[in-house]
Structure formats: structure tokens, C-alpha cells
Amino acid sequence: NPYKKWLEQDNLALQRVNFVNQVSHELKTPLTNIRMYAELLAQQLDGSEEKPRRYLDIIVAESQRLSRLILNVLNFGRMQREALRLHRQAGVIDAAVAGALEAFRPALEGKGVQISFTRGAPANAEFDRDALEQILNNLFSNVEKYGTSGARLDVITEQTEGQTVIRVRDYGAGIPRRERE
């Protein structure tokens, strides 16, 4: 019976999503502790300990990145269960973009990527900050993973009445033709 087979596959997919959500949720607590203790240790270092501070900055940045990845997995699982709902609030898009860039700056610069951010969206706008950050995190993560050969990341925001455009460009090899579709 094709319907029964489809129902079994759907049930198996739901079980997988639930498992990934549970594991992701359980990873949040130890990861938060790792980041917290790394930040506390960084506060205790004096200015003469440049190399250990750099290492701690990387630990903090990577733990923040892992937290974002876990959040992405949890959000994906939520979207599998329910329709995505945007929670719009007033805010400044340039500030949200700058925050997302700063979170990735240590990892990107550590791989030799020059970052350029041209701010053009300074006015208040209604947007879902979490959704925007998730989109930007995915884009910046892709630059970190695949676009570092271009050694450059340009982010440009433009705002007109009623519309904001965010352009993200790296100069890496791009998506191979056979995988573009």
C-alpha cells in the first residue's frame, strides 16, 4: 500500500527531526558553560598575555558559532512542525547586520577574509531580528566554509521608504555549474 509506505516514511522523518531537536537542545547547556568560562578566563588575563587571549577569543567565537548552528537546527525542527511565523519589531537593520558580522569576524579574519560593511539602512524598520540573523548567519557561515578562497566579504545595506535590501557577496569560487540547479 503506497499510502502506508508514505505514512511510515513521514513518521520516520518526524522521529529523526525530534531526535535531532532533543540532541541539539541538550548541547545548549554545556556549550553555554564552555563559553561562559572562556569569557571569565579572558577577563582575568592581563594585556601581556596576547597569545592566550587570542586563543580564548577563538574559543568564545567558535562556541558562539556552534550556538547559532544549534539554534538553526532547533528552528528548522520547529519549522517542520509548524509554519514559520515572523515576529516583527521595530529596530535598525544596520545594527542587526553589524551584530551578525561581529559574531563571525574572528572566524572570518582568522581565515584571511577581509570584511567590508557599507551601512545604508540606519532608519527604524519592522523586521524579525531572529529570522534576519539566522539568514545572515547561514550566509556568513557559507563564506567561512566555502568562500574563503576569495578572501573578501562585502555586505551592503540600502534602505528606501518601505524596503530594505541587504547584499552579501564573497569572491570565492562559487557554486559549481553541476550543482546550481
Q: DSSP 3-state assignment of 45?
A: coil
Q: What is the DSSP letter of 174?
A: -
What's residue 83's pLDDT? Answer: 59
What's residue 81's pLDDT? Answer: 59
pLDDT at 160 over 70: yes
pLDDT at 19 over 90: no
Q: DSSP 3-state assignment of 49?
A: coil
Question: What's the CA gap between 87 and 125, in Å, rounded?
Answer: 13
Mean pLDDT value across residues 153-177: 91
Beta strands of the chain (E only): which ranges? 89-92, 114-118, 124-127, 152-160, 163-170
Mean pLDDT value across residues 30-51: 81
Question: What's the CA gap between 57 and 46, in Å, rounded?
Answer: 14
Buried b (16+ CB within 10 A) or exposed e, 76-112: ebeeeeeeeeeeeeeebbbebbeebbebbebbbeeee
Q: pLDDT by residue (tens digit) across 91-108?
A: 999 999 999 998 888 888
Q: How confident is the model at residue 17 (pLDDT cuts 50, 70, 90)?
A: low
Q: How confident is the model at residue 76 (pLDDT cuts 50, 70, 90)?
A: low
- Of 113, 117, 118, nearest to 144 by C-alpha is 113
What's residue 11's pLDDT? Answer: 72
User: What is the Cα gyration radius of the chain?
Assistant: 20
Q: How confident is the model at residue 77 (pLDDT cuts 50, 70, 90)?
A: low
pLDDT at 28 over 80: no
What's residue 142's pLDDT? Answer: 85
Mean pLDDT value across residues 51-58: 81
Q: pLDDT by residue (tens digit) across 110-159?
A: 888 999 999 999 999 999 888 898 889 888 988 888 876 778 999 999 99
User: Whole-number mean pLDDT of the chain?
Assistant: 82
pLDDT at 25 over 90: no
Q: How far apart are the first and last CA of the chain?
A: 33
- Of 7, 27, 25, nearest to 17 by C-alpha is 25
